[in-house]
Amino acid sequence: MVSHKVIEPSRLSQAHMNEVSTIYQVYHDQLRHTSSKEAAEATKNYCLSSAHVKTEDKLASYEFLYMNDFFHELDAVLSTTQDNSEIPLLYQILLTRYSKPLTNEDLEWLQTLSFSHPSLRCLHLFTLVYAYYDSKQYTGLDKYVDECYDALLQVNEPLFYYYMKLRFDELLFQHYWKTNNILLAKKYIYKVLNTDLSPRKQSSMNHNLALCHLYEDYDLSIGYAYAGLSIARENQLNKVITSIQNYTIPFISAFHKRTLNITTPDPVETAHLAIANNDLNTAESILSRLSVLTPFQESYLGLTRKDRTMLNRAHNRFIKEYGDHFFAQLPLYYLERIHHTNQEE
């Protein structure tokens, strides 16, 4: 059972809060007396059954529904609301992002927006960073990090603050992961895991931890992947199941050459598994048919051909095109593998 204390702001944070939403009061009380799942369900019903007039109640209601994966319910609320304020706009964007990642064009449009309410300013900044991440520009937080810290300090309602802090910790995890500061990345991902998370986020965090441990420990990496898959299956999260089952588990298995009984319908990861099994003809046949290679695919083909130029180019592309210093190590590991193979020959 998740303690109600998890959503309580610290004494320092309370100093700048002058509003308490009825949603916070209901959720806090429910967490005191029921399980996390029951508390979320009861609070969802309250959000949907009550007409929220105050700005802080509306914000807390939308944010609660979104962060607890009640997407259909939030969509229904947004579709029928008579609220002509600026509040619904960002949540429409976030719901759209759930099914379709934001693009560079979306980012440019988001940069033209501004919001007067401090809580919306905070969420707007985070949404800008999401757009950078969706576009595989993983240095996106760099230009906004100070503004994000300042904006978080202006949030004046405890439940909205709780979720904004959770969002910010997730963004910091992604930032430190992609800049290859793994100790700091793990610090923030464990902070997130120690909060009251929806099943989708629980699965996602385990999935991310699996990839964080890729280079250092096969058992930890594959263990977190299967933990994320188990949560996804229990909650029928089909998109997450597909991602972990067809891509992440084969990827980890191929990297560590632990491929027994591992298959995937994805041709690129099938090629990766073939490389691990020393079936280079199959890998070459699949990868050479691709007209445009991603850095991952170029890493696989470079390993297949023992082509150091391709692997060095893939390393540079990860950094220059994505700002991804974590996966930029992948082709370097494959260069080292080629070196050892040549020595053995």
Establish how many alpha carbons lie within 13 A of residue 69's alpha carbon, considering only the half-sphere containing its beta carbon. Answer: 16
* Beta carbons within 10 angstroms of residue 2's beta carbon: 16
Roughly what angle, to the nearest 10 degrees, separates helices 55-67 and 36-49? Answer: 140
270-275-279-285 Cα dihedral, nearest 10 degrees? 60
**DSSP H stretches of helix in 135-279:** 145-152, 158-178, 182-193, 199-212, 218-234, 238-243, 249-255, 267-276
pLDDT along the chain (345 residues), means of 10: 74 76 95 92 93 89 96 92 80 92 95 93 96 91 93 94 96 95 95 88 96 96 98 95 98 98 97 97 97 97 97 97 96 93 65
Contact 47, 61 (CB under 8 A): yes
Contact 269, 251 (CB under 8 A): yes
pLDDT at 16: 73
Contact 296, 310 (CB under 8 A): no
pLDDT at 83: 72
* Beta carbons within 10 angstroms of residue 196's beta carbon: 20
The size of the chain, in residues, is 345
- Distance spanning both ends of the chain, measured CA to CA: 57
Tokens of 252: 């980890």
Establish how many alpha carbons lie within 13 A of residue 208's alpha carbon, considering only the half-sphere containing its beta carbon. Answer: 23
Q: In a 3-state reduction of DSSP, which class is residue 27?
A: helix
CA distances from 106 to 100, 113, 142, 162, 211 (A): 11, 11, 19, 27, 28
CA distances from 95 to 54, 78, 256 (A): 22, 10, 37
